[in-house]
Amino acid sequence: MSHLVAPSVLSADFGNLQRDIEMINSSAADWFHVDIMDGVFVPNISFGFPVLKALKQHAKKPLDVHLMIVDPDRYAQAFKDAGADVLTVHLEACTHLHRSIQNIKNLGMKAGVAINPHTSVNMLQDIIEDIDLVCVMSVNPGYGGQKFIEHTYKKISALKEMIIQSHSKALIEIDGGVDLNNYAKLVHTGADVLVAGNTVFSSKDPKQTIIELKKEGL
Ligand code: DX5
Ligand code: ZN
C-alpha cells in the first residue's frame, strides 16, 4: 500500500472552511485529519461538534478524528453521530484503553490510539492487535506549526517491528511537523499515514504540496 496523506483541518482558514474542504476534496489527499482539543488534556481548545458536522456535510473523504480530550469514552457515540470514520484516543487519557477501543469499534468506527512524544511504543504491546491505527505524535499535541521531534524515527522503527511480529493490521500515522524535507524518510522508516497542517495550508499551492507529499521520494 502506498502511504496516505491527511491534511489537518486545524490549519485551514475557518472563515473559508468550505473552500478549504473543497480544495481537499479535489486534491490527492486521502483523509481529513480533524483535531479536537478540550483545553484540559492539551493547553488549547480547537472546535467541537457543530464544526465537525459542517465538515462532514461537505467532505468527500474519510474523517480521521484525533481526540485530544480527557474522558473520550463519554463522547464516542457523539463523534460517531457527527461523522467520524476513524476515532483516535490518547493512550495517556484512557484508564481502560481496551474498553475504549472496543467501544469505538462496536460503534462502527475504526479505532486509533495516539501516543505523546514521551510515551514509549512498548506501551502498545498488549493492544496492538486490537487497533486499526497508531498515531505517533511527533510534536507535543496542542498546536499546529511546531518543529518535528527527530526521536520519532526510532519510535516508528520499533512500532513497525511490533506490528510485523504481532501480525497486527494497524497503520502508523505521524502527526506534527511533517514537511517536504522529512516526509520521504518517514515513509521509508514505516509511516503509513502522514498528517500535515502547516505544510499544506501555508503553502502557496496546497494541492501541489499534497501531490509532493504523496510522492515516493528517496
Ligand atoms: C497537533 C495536532 C496536529 C496538527 C499538525 O496537536 O494533533 O494534527 O494539526 O499540524 P502541523 O502539521 O502544522 O504540525
Ligand atoms: Zn492531530
Q: What is the pLDDT of residue 122?
A: 98
Is the full-model pTM beyond 0.85?
yes
In which band, very low, low, confident or very high, does the pLDDT at 217 lie, cut at 50, 70 and 90? confident
DSSP 129: G
pLDDT for the residue 78: 98
Residues 159 and 141 sit within 8 Å (Cβ to Cβ): no
How many Å lie between the centroid of ligand 1 and the Cα of residue 200?
11
Work out the pLDDT band at 180, boundaries 50, 70, 90. Answer: very high
Q: What is the pLDDT of residue 82?
A: 98
Q: Where are the alpha helices (DSSP H) in 39-191?
A: 49-58, 76-82, 97-106, 152-166, 183-189
213, 183 in Cβ contact below 8 A? yes
Contact 141, 116 (CB under 8 A): yes
Catalytic residue among 30, 38, 64, 175: 175
Structural domains of the chain in order of their starting residue, each with its CATH number:
4-214 (3.20.20.70)
Compute the distance from residue 1 Cα to the ligand 2 centre, in Å. 22
> Rounded to the nearest whole angstrom, what is the distance from the C-alpha of residue 62 to the centroid of ligand 1?
18
Cα dihedral 36→15→175→81 (10° resolution): 40
Is the pLDDT assigned to residue 5 strictly greater than 90?
yes
The closest of 30, 58, 16 to 195, measured between CA atoms, is 30
pLDDT > 70: percent of the chain: 100
Is pLDDT at 95 greater than 90 in this prediction?
Answer: yes
Q: What is the pLDDT of residue 1?
A: 76
Non-local CB neighbours of 162 within 8 Å, separated by 6+ positions: 121, 124, 125, 128, 168
pLDDT band at 216 (very low <50, low <70, confident <90, very high): confident
Is the predicted pLDDT of residue 90 greater than 90, yes or no? yes
Active site residue 20: no
Residue nearest atom 6 of ligand 1, based on CA coordinates: 141
- Each residue of 70-83: pLDDT tens digit? 999 999 999 999 99
Question: Quick check: 218 pLDDT over 80?
Answer: no
Q: Which residues, judged by CB distance below 6 Å to any ligand atom, belong to the binding site of ligand 1?
A: 8, 10-11, 33, 35, 66, 139, 141-146, 175-178, 195-199
**Ligand 1 atom 1: residue of nearest CA:** 141
Mean pLDDT of the chain: 98
| Ligand in nearest proximity to the CA of 44 | 1
Mutate to test the pocket of ligand 1, among 9, 11, 47 (most ligand atoms within 8 A of CB): 11
Q: Say whether 81 is catalytic.
A: no
| Residue 210: closest CA among 37, 29, 83 | 29
Gap from CA of 42 to ligand 1 centroid (Å): 12
Ligand 1 atom with the smallest distance to the CA of 141 is 6
pLDDT tens per residue across span 42-72:
999 999 999 999 999 999 999 999 999 999 9
How far apart are the C-alpha atoms of 156 and 64, rounded to whole Å? 20
Report which bound ligand comes closest to the CA of 139: 1
Q: What is the mean pLDDT of residues 116-124?
A: 98
Cα 10 to ligand 1 centre (Å): 7
Helical residues (DSSP H) of 59-204, grouped into ranges: 76-82, 97-106, 152-166, 183-189, 198-201
